[in-house]
Structure 1
């Protein structure tokens, strides 16, 4: 039996060396596959020590394999280079390097083309404004366990969302960690965490002991389901807000409640719009202005006072306290309704005239649509159409007080509007009465007054502005109509504009829209059959066409 020789040198091959080389080569292939699999699943989330160790073992095995097959490979490489293989390889390497550089540049600048129906993967105007207005760095630490991962969590979706935030502001940074491998960091940032809080996100502002933190529990699952933007933006707003102010809801006059608790009020509640304000980290407080113990709210603590559909007029002492609050730079939102109290004694001092009437629409009856609010008002940004029920007119007084500027906000179309004067809710309407006026109706106004240091109740030399928004109806913001068109946005924009939270006066994040098509069983079977046979039938048809053309 002849002795085996090396293909290049012609010298006898060492069987032990050949055995070690073969084993090393196959082991390198196996380790390489494992490393690639591990890197593909983990590299987008964080660096992994297992990947580094695997690469070291892989390199050692490859070197062992090259030591055994080096001479043979060198001979093949020389012949391959002479046949032009080297030039082709250099061209391929150049193309790969060019593609890698393009990919590296694109990865550093986030860009995407959102083709979803409601632009689900595009950051809303609100988020963009919040990020662009950041004055101090915000750090986000997101924890996603590689083991015991919650069902439905998509690390790629979380990474894409954080990358979008990072591309909109240099003051936002993030890192994604495993709570098991970085247990000390997890305990430091979230000491009260339990095993149910492993998919949390912790936002930080400041350094050391003075750092402020905001925790979002279940963030990875929320980001995977499309709710991550709302949660993350709301946490950033609360974390970066310089002072903690609340929204006060006036009570004691039969106002519409803002909670979701059962109520005997047939108008319902404002729970839907109140929940939207809670999503952007607003807190609520009940305000009582009647009685000797009642005090005037502080504008530094109560950002806005909401008077939602009162059933009784305000007392003189309540009016005085509201005026004192406004003259200190306060903000008030008033929502009235046809046939109810007009609050004219209070609103008249601020240049607003409330009509004793009812506004109707020729096509919709008591439901009055308003198309595109006045463009001059910032709080109307993003609003296309709103619906109003049991509305009355609110207009600027002929002779407003000095320094008071009243601007119309909501106006109906004259050709489809009828205004019934001297409206009495106890008298049932039978059609449109002959004395109804055919003219455009103003259902909302904005009032502003610049307060100098010498104004009543004003302290120091700082100049402030009193703001007042008055709507002629309350129903547009109740749970009955809040979800219609842009009604909820009109209310939340009004509150945020009054509070001078300009970053929140915009279109809110999109809600997920399901585009799932449900087919009956018979149609589904037909669809499957067509999808199974489409390409074979197309190939047969092309074959028949070519055959006939040749004949």
Structure 2
């Protein structure tokens, strides 16, 4: 009997040894897998952004700008060392797009000489540097950093002149119809904004990169239009945004010299699309864009054209100007010719049906020298753009979907900076989670009661399983 009782105990020893050996092998395999995964993760960094606004992913503009770098770009963060960890997550997104992006992290308290060299005034300042161009931003957001990158890559600032003196929109006006937000947008894109009273100046300054005539409420005088004509003939670039009521020598010049058809009408959109955005029938929503560098990247955004008139290529035979349509309304729109005092009457039987063109772009060969801009674009031709509404970039409308991008793309095209034409990054928006009182109680029960109970039950189950072995 004694020998019979010892036999099972001897038989158990190899079994326990085998179990322990298997456990050791299993742990070694798990550790080896973890090491391999860690090495691969370090060599092939990959992240996923599941936020609704993609706040942890660079925008298409940032990716485009970085992918086209042809010279080193330096980003230098001056901040406390304790903040470098979070900052690296932000700047790594830029470095992943180009090997030409170099990032430095400097603590101004430990390296005061470098802080004085770059004239750093506050923690969190970022120096953006490329070649001999440098910008400093104080907010670590994609919008601010990418705008600074654009400014240093564009080089010297270009001057934009707004024509004044005939009731035009003002870049210094903070009201709903003013252009102060537009001025800020231009300055963020490395333009300098000035005003020009043509009635007091016989010619457009030669440092003008682009001339803007925005919604004059009074007809421009003949000498003013002559100054604009001389500027464009000399290779100058210009943007015109005209009201339905705009008339006089300026409209005649656009028609006869630049081959642009400007019918006195008001566009009415009866499609109902505008109501989705809180817009009336007198604020056509544009979602169809023709093929042109200005609108090449805008096919997924809409633009709003409040109180607009039609602007179309003309029909002058053998015209020197080459004019291209840019954007069109929906088919359910009309060009109403009966309007006065903001009262518009549509006659479906006689008014033209959509789609209707609201903007055109064109070129004109240079016919004189020594007049116009400082050769920032193609000096052999002038570029011009005409839109049928000055309200598209007013303070009240500029932030509507693609309106800001449409205008800035227009300015980049006029200034010969096509590679910067794109959709700009938007400020990150929060996505708050609204939880009811009942949901809060459910979360409380799940995490503070349910989860501990589940762990206890799993422990009991494992213990019972071991006893049966």
1:39-86, CA deviations, whole angstroms, 9 ceiling, x for partnerless residues? Answer: xxxxxxxxxxxxxxxxxxxxxxxxxxxxxxxxxxxxxxxxxxxx8999
State which structure, 1 or 2, has the greater radius of gyration over its C-alpha atoms. Answer: 1
CA distance in 1, matches of 2:36, 2:455: 38
CA RMSD of aligned residues (A): 3.5
Structure 2 spans left out of the alignment, 5+ residues: 1-20, 273-279, 460-469
CA shift in 2, pair 1:271/1:522, >3 Å: farther
CA distance in 2, matches of 1:94, 1:528: 38
CA shift in 2, pair 1:88/1:534, >3 Å: closer
Partner residue in 1 for 2:358: 443
Shift of 1:311: 0.7
CA distance in 2, matches of 1:259, 1:123: 32
For the residue of structure 1 that corresponds to 2:211, the secondary structure is strand
Partner residue in 1 for 2:174: 261
Alignment coverage as a number of residue pairs = 428
CA distance in 1, matches of 2:426, 2:415: 23
CA shift in 2, pair 1:89/1:526, >3 Å: closer
CA shift in 2, pair 1:534/1:281, >3 Å: farther
CA contact (8 A) 2:166 2:218 kept: yes
Shift of 1:539: 7.8
Q: Is 2:67 the counterpart of 1:142? A: no
Partner residue in 2 for 1:281: 190
For the residue of structure 1 that corresponds to 2:392, the secondary structure is helix
CA contact (8 A) 1:411 1:441 kept: yes
Q: More deviation in 158-167 or 83-92?
A: 83-92
1:174 to 84, 88, 103: 103
1:173-231, CA deviations, whole angstroms, 9 ceiling, x for partnerless residues? Answer: 111021111122222222xx44xx1322223334xxxx543222x3xxx32xxx2x222
TM-score by length of 2: 0.80
Partner residue in 2 for 1:457: 369
Partner residue in 2 for 1:345: 252
1:102 to 21, 31, 40: 40
CA distance in 1, matches of 2:50, 2:108: 35
Q: Is 2:114 the counterpart of 1:185? A: yes
CA shift in 2, pair 1:205/1:482, >3 Å: closer
CA distance in 2, matches of 1:250, 1:438: 34
Shift of 1:133: 3.2
CA shift in 2, pair 1:499/1:400, >3 Å: farther
Structure 1 spans left out of the alignment, 5+ residues: 1-82, 544-551
Q: Is 2:91 the counterpart of 1:162? A: yes
Q: Structure 1 or 2: larger helix share?
A: 1
CA contact (8 A) 2:160 2:212 kept: yes
For the residue of structure 1 that corresponds to 2:183, the secondary structure is helix
CA contact (8 A) 1:120 1:512 kept: yes
Shift of 1:527: 4.0
CA distance in 1, matches of 2:345, 2:178: 29
Q: Which of structures 1 and 2 has the larger relative contact order (alpha carbons within 8 angstroms, sep 6+)?
A: 2
Q: Is 2:276 the counterpart of 1:360? A: no
CA contact (8 A) 1:143 1:199 kept: yes
For the residue of structure 2 that corresponds to 1:198, the secondary structure is coil
For the residue of structure 1 that corresponds to 2:160, the secondary structure is strand
Shift of 1:90: 7.5
CA contact (8 A) 2:159 2:192 kept: yes
Partner residue in 2 for 1:131: 66
For the residue of structure 1 that corresponds to 2:96, the secondary structure is helix
Q: Is 2:230 the counterpart of 1:313? A: no
1:5-62, CA deviations, whole angstroms, 9 ceiling, x for partnerless residues? Answer: xxxxxxxxxxxxxxxxxxxxxxxxxxxxxxxxxxxxxxxxxxxxxxxxxxxxxxxxxx
1:213 to 98, 115, 134: 134
Shift of 1:303: 1.7
CA contact (8 A) 1:404 1:448 kept: yes
